[in-house]
């Protein structure tokens, strides 16, 4: 697991290397190790979201972890029927989003801030211990992370579209 920890250190995603060594098991697949590190709260920008959390409840911690302009994101109104709808305000952008689940919220936030270099992208790492694990990553780190075998986010295609063009 040394290469996993080295890669996470290089990307500045590891909070405590010694604690991470204690959490990891040598016989587990790397993508599972990443979920275990997230579950232990050892990933900088990582969030473990209980399955019972509603999209509007996740907005504040998620936009805080995204940083930059996302910190000024506002929810103006929440409607629940027939489907959850959020009326949002982000700078001079006002939109209504139909958000059926947390993945839809992640998709909408990544799309809204796709051109903002100061806002981290949200990777959906997967489910572990009754929680959805998310990781907010700087867009400049995405190309390198996407080449790593341990980094297998569910929203990989969307993240590839967010990578800076060279």
Consecutive 10-residue runs of the chain (166 residues): their mean pLDDT? Answer: 82 93 88 94 96 93 97 95 92 94 96 96 96 95 91 95 72
pLDDT of amino acid 26: 81
pLDDT of amino acid 158: 95
* Residue-range definition of the domain harbouring residue 36: 4-158
* Count of domains forming the chain: 1
Structure tokens, 17? 């290397």
45 domain-assigned = yes
- Residues 122, 151: Cα–Cα separation, whole Å: 13
163 domain-assigned = no
165 domain-assigned = no
Structure tokens, 137? 């990553």
27 domain-assigned = yes
pLDDT of amino acid 27: 85
Q: 116 by DSSP, 3-state: which?
A: coil
Q: Among candidates 2, 26, 27, 28, which has minimal Cα distance to 14?
A: 2
């Amino acid at each position: 697991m040394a290469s996993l920890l080295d890669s996470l250190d290089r990307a500045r995603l590891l909070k405590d290397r010694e604690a991470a060594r204690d959490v990891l098991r040598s016989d587990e697949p790397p993508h599972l190790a990443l979920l275990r590190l997230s579950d232990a709260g050892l990933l900088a920008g990582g969030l473990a979201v209980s399955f019972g959390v509603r999209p509007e409840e996740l907005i504040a911690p998620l936009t805080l972890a995204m940083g930059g302009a996302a910190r000024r994101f506002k929810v103006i109104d929440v409607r629940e029927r027939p489907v959850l709808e959020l009326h949002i305000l982000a700078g001079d952008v006002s939109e209504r989003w139909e958000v059926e689940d947390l993945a839809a919220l992640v998709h909408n936030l990544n799309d809204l801030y796709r051109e903002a270099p100061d806002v981290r992208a949200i990777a959906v790492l997967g489910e572990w211990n009754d929680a959805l694990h998310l990781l907010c990553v700087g867009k400049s780190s995405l190309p390198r992370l996407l080449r790593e075998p341990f980094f297998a986010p569910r929203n990989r295609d969307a993240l590839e579209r967010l990578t800076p063009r060279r």
